Amino acid sequence: MCLLIFAYKTHPKYPLILISNRDEFYKRPTAQAAWWKDQPEILGGRDLEMGGTWLGIRKNGLFAILTNYRHFPPARKYTKSRGELVCNFLKSDQKSQAYAKSLNAKTNDYDGYNMVFGTLEELCYYSNISNEVKTLAPGVYGLSNHLLNTQWPKVETAQKKFNALLQNSRILPSDLFDIMSDTSIAPDNKLPSTGVGIELERLLSPAFIQSPEYGTRCTSLILIDQDNKVSFEEHSYVPMGNSSFKFKIEGNK
């Protein structure tokens, strides 16, 4: 997943409004969002190659989202999948801060990543690049393949549109999905330099990425209202298909 915008405790109706795009190679086998058969309290998509996930939520209110940190060439080849970090948190009975400490203890076990995880009561951010755990205050946040709130063009543009929507008492999912469908390529003078070369930086600069082999595979939306009712909606593009789920959080951690 390569673009995430979320509002945490800033809207009068929704303590959490989160929308994200997952970018991946089209050939990588993926299961669309569903309740997991082996972990029936967890809802999310699944990477069928390594068994992990990029985004998920549990019936007790735990949720987690991960993005890769883009830097080339990588320092070395890693055998562990970053997607297992989201799975491990969702399956665990650890508090957010305790899990954050466990991540901090295995910084070098995984290639670069960012992870947002917790509950409505305590939300944390950790990157093994900055090697720092942050407890997030109420606010609007953006994340792509650098650190939290790094103003890459797609993050900056999406946040501006997102902030405008937050002025409305009614939040329409269609408006949020529209933000994430932007295919505009950023001007060269605003592109980051992550070691992949200018042509690939251009290709990766839109919120919604399209290319013959790699691009935005799905967009996922999580809304949690003041009554702890969760609306989860996913639009999948490769393969095509939409899904939606509603449930009420059964006791927070």
**Alpha helices per DSSP H over 166-210:** 173-180, 198-204
Residue 154 near residue 207, CB atoms below 8 Å:
yes
Q: Which residues contact 96 (CB under 8 A, 6 or more apart)?
A: 117, 118, 119, 122, 123, 124, 135
In-domain check, residue 239: yes
Q: Could you read off the pLDDT of 133-175 as tens digits, one per residue?
A: 999 999 999 999 999 999 999 999 999 999 999 999 999 999 9
Q: What is the CATH number of the domain that holds 138?
A: 3.60.60.10
Helix orientation angle between 83-91 and 96-104, rounded to the nearest 10 degrees: 140
Q: Is residue 193 part of a domain?
A: no
H helices then E strands: how many in the chain?
A: 5, 13
The contacts of residue 103 (CB under 8 Å, 6+ apart) are 85, 115, 126, 128, 133
Sequence-distant (6+) residues with CB within 8 A of 122 are 95, 96, 97, 135
243: left (phi > 0), else alpha (psi -120 to 50), else beta? Answer: beta
Q: Is a pLDDT exceeding 90 seen at residue 77?
A: no
Q: Is residue 25 part of a domain?
A: yes
Query: Is residue 76 domain-resident?
Result: yes
- Position 253 pLDDT exceeds 80: no
Residue type at position 151: Q
Task: Please give the pLDDT value at position 1.
Answer: 64
Identify the pLDDT of residue 252.
55
Is residue 198 in a domain? no
Whole domain around residue 74: which residue ranges? 3-150+212-248
Q: Is residue 232 situated within a structural domain?
A: yes
Instruction: Give 95-144 pLDDT, tens digit per residue.
Output: 898 999 899 888 889 999 999 999 999 999 999 999 989 999 999 999 99
* 103 lies in some domain: yes
Phi (first) and psi of residue 200, to 5 degrees: -75, -35
Please give the tally of structural domains in the chain.
1
In whole angstroms, give the CA distance from residue 79 to residue 225: 39
Q: Tell me, yes or no, whether 33 lies in a domain.
A: yes
pTM: 0.95
